[in-house]
Amino acid sequence: MQTRRIRWHIVVFLAPAVLVYTGVMIFPLFNTLRLALFTEVDQTRVYVGIQNFRTLFFDPIWSEQFWNALGNNFWFFLIHMLVQNPIGIALAAILSHPRLRFAALYRSAIFIPTILSFVIVGFAWKLILSPLWGIAPSMLDAIGLKSLFAPWLGKEEYALTTLALVSVWQFVGIPMMLIYAALLSIPEEILEAGEIDGITGASAFWKIKLPLILPSIGIISILTFVGNFNAFDLIYVSQGALAGPDFSTDILGTFMYRTFFGFQLQLGDPHMGSAIAGAMFAIILVGVCIYLFGIQTRMRRYQL
Amino acid sequence: MKRKVLSLALMTTALVTSAYAQEATLTIESWRNDDLALWQEKIIPAFEAEHPGIKVIFSPSAPAEYNAVLNSKLEAGSAGDLITCRPFDASLALYESGHLTDLSDLEAMGNFSDVAKSAWQTDDASASFCVPMASVIHGFIYNKDAFNELGLEVPTTEAEFFVALDKIKEDGTYIPMAMGTNDQWEAATMGYNNIGPNYWKGEEGRQALIKGEQKLTDPQWVAPYATLAKWADYLGDGYEAQTYPDSQNLFTLGRAAIYPAGSWEIAGFNTQADFEMGAFKPPVQNAGDTCYISDHTDIGIGLNAASENQEAARTFLSWVASPEFASIFGNAVPGFFPLSNTPVELEDPLAKEIVGWRDECESTIRSTYQILSRGTPNLENETWGASVAAIKGTETPEALGQQLQDGLASWYAPHQ
């Protein structure tokens, strides 16, 4: 009779990742969710159940801010989906064209903003768009379109869209690279077979390449979704924690920061802040689940 | 032989460490990163010369992040020994949660008036937890060269003020007034709370508002918004996206004629601007009216209850409360006016001009700071938004007053 040996090496190899991940991700996550169930009364922490969430969703003062931030978040996400990802795919398609010259140069140039810090991007764009010192007004002036210029970051109706486009500029390299890699992995034989059947040029892209890269597009969409709903940095750097003008650029991240840490005379409230963080977590979780179970499992995959 | 050397080495180490143990190093948390050089070059050397055993490190963080950073540091136990105190509730909350020490027994606290101490006391004034350092005064700083060039008189009434602005605008060389609404707080701090005290009669109105006798929908609280709405025409192109540093640069580069200011700008402007500057107080409605200025208790310094150097820190705080510090600080950081009872002779002409208003006008503090910004929604933050909306004209002054009043009444009992 032989007892099965415990395979210690599995435990040993898993341990560092499991310990680190538990320590810095899983524990803080659940602790934050736990914190959301408490409130502070006279310097002592009191358990209040879901009261904080009820305040967040139904108290007019809080819910107005919450829905405003959530709506802005969806708009932020929508701009990325409608602008960043199509442009990323188009760029990848152009870059993968075998006869394009200087492809490596374009690839690096478009990808570089992705590795820049938010602080630099936010600051640089604020300067570019500044009505006082920016180059945007003088460039528009040079081509006779000065009338189109507006202090975009200071107008309620444009500020969020402008920031979303700045973020698109920064991150368009990511979908481009992922799609580019997917396009390169399509075997030549398939394209040649298509060519024999008379499918060339643009129709080769629509009929052969696009179906083959759909899983990558799905992954990019979900990365964009998670990234956008966790966004905070760019808004904070360029508009501050009050996400002006008049909260028109307020997203869940800045709303949570303001509530959790406090702002100017407003004192921080870790419990309400955690409740917002919990709501963000739930929204992202639901979004990812819809994708994983509703879309990814139904997507057709081709054996290459 | 070897052992002897070793023991000798050990002994010297022991001696050195014991010598160090008598020295204390105090770290100051502050949001005044603009003043870093002044602390390092003037204030700290003056203190260290008198108290050789104590070393002081000034470690500021960015103003907008200070409260958040400080709170996290205090919770984590990594904050410095001395805490620069924001006025009113932010510091009161720190005291109530046990992060700041009661300093009422500090002898040097006697050097300050009750008004000066009020910003850092419990509501019943039984405990004082920060040593008052300085106040800031609001008004307008102007470019004297520009005024001479255009032949303008310094305005004293509101009508004269707008006449001057019109003339500057008509001439076109200068942007009449340098202020933007992008960062929001300028509109409230340098706008609403700058000109407002003349409408609500300073302390009289402020106290009545706290007691619930006046409402934010009353004409004296709404009228400043109507005046702010008129500012928009004079703020220059794209003021909606103009940030605070943009405004400072516009003025110091000589491109704008008037700068709605707080006196804290003086030190920076002195080094940046190469033209002569003057200041005028917020214009009154009719010539001869009593003038009111916002002389806001802005900065104090307290003792971290968790500090390991309590004695050294108290020594430092007593020194901060002394007339000697007041005179060094007042002159090193012109525009932050010492609160100590002993009058301080200021050298900077602009600072002297502004502090002189204390004798001509009634002083008050910013209307939203005491008690009224305790709840949610936060009245101060709401006032920022309201002032911006007033300037941009997106809401009527009456609607803004109503909105603020509703917000305040939702949590503040005297207004319910």
ipTM over 0.90: no
CB contact under 8 A, B240 and A154: yes
Mean pLDDT across the stretch B224-239?
A: 93
- A158 at the B interface (CB within 8 A)? no
Averaged pLDDT of chain A: 90
**Is residue B237 over pLDDT 70?**
yes
Mean pLDDT across the stretch A215-242?
A: 92
The band of A146, judged by pLDDT with boundaries at 50, 70 and 90, is confident
Token pair belonging to A229: 């709903």
**Is residue B14 over pLDDT 60?**
no
> Which among B86, B96, B246 is the nearest to A132, CB-wise?
B246
> Which among B93, B246, B369 is the nearest to A130, CB-wise?
B246
The phi-psi region of residue A53 (left if phi > 0; otherwise alpha if psi is between -120 and 50; otherwise beta) is alpha
Euclidean distance between CA atoms B98 and B20, whole angstroms: 29
pLDDT in tens, A287-298: 999 998 888 887
- A163 at the B interface (CB within 8 A)? no
pLDDT in tens, B123-175: 888 899 999 999 999 999 999 999 999 999 999 999 999 999 999 999 999 99
Partners of B392 on chain A (C-beta within 8 Å) are 245
Euclidean distance between CA atoms B184 and B203, whole angstroms: 25
Residues 159-218 of B with CB under 8 A from A: 180-185
Mean pLDDT across the stretch A116-134?
A: 91
Token pair belonging to A278: 């919990």
Say what the pLDDT of residue B63 is.
Answer: 81
Residues 61-100 of B with CB under 8 A from A: 64, 67-68, 71-72, 86, 88-90, 93, 96-98
Partners of A265 on chain B (C-beta within 8 Å) are 86, 88-90, 368-369, 373, 378, 380-381
The band of A99, judged by pLDDT with boundaries at 50, 70 and 90, is confident
- Alpha-carbon distance values, B347 to B34, B280, B317 (Å): 20, 18, 25
Euclidean distance between CA atoms B141 and B158, whole angstroms: 16
**Is residue B16 over pLDDT 50?**
no
Token pair belonging to A73: 């978040």
Partners of B64 on chain A (C-beta within 8 Å) are 240-241
**Residues B352/B358, Cβ–Cβ less than 8 Å:** no
**How, if at all, do strands A266-267 and A38-41 pair?**
unpaired
pTM: 0.83
- A247 at the B interface (CB within 8 A)? yes
Mean pLDDT across the stretch A113-137?
A: 91
- B367 at the A interface (CB within 8 A)? no
- Per CATH, the number for B2-135+297-346 is 3.40.190.10
> Which among B64, B97, B240 is the nearest to A245, CB-wise?
B240
CB contact under 8 A, B182 and A154: yes
Element (H, E) at A45: strand A44-47
Q: H helices of chain A, where?
A: 8-21, 27-35, 51-58, 60-79, 85-95, 103-115, 118-129, 135-142, 159-171, 173-184, 188-196, 201-204, 210-229, 233-239, 252-261, 270-289
Mean pLDDT across the stretch A107-116?
A: 92
pLDDT in tens, B295-323: 899 899 999 999 999 999 999 999 999 98
Q: Answer yes or no: same fold for B2-135+297-346 and B137-295+363-415.
A: yes
Q: Which residues pair with B100 in a beta bridge?
A: B304
CB contact under 8 A, A264 and B368: no
**Is residue B21 over pLDDT 50?**
no
**Residues B60/B333, Cβ–Cβ less than 8 Å:** no
- A266 at the B interface (CB within 8 A)? yes
- Alpha-carbon distance values, B128 to A124, A178, B305, B316, B400 (Å): 45, 61, 14, 16, 36
Domains of chain A: 49-298 (1.10.3720.10)
- Rounded to 10 degrees, the C-alpha dihedral B190/B193/B195/B197 comes to -150
**B137-295+363-415 CATH choice from 3.40.190.10, 3.40.50.300, 3.40.50.1370, 1.10.10.1110:** 3.40.190.10
**Other Cβ atoms within 10 Å of B72 Cβ, number:** 15
Mean pLDDT across the stretch A148-161?
A: 90
Domain limits, chain B = 2-135+297-346, 137-295+363-415
Q: Hey, is B176 helix, strand or coil?
A: strand
Amino acid identity, residue B61? S
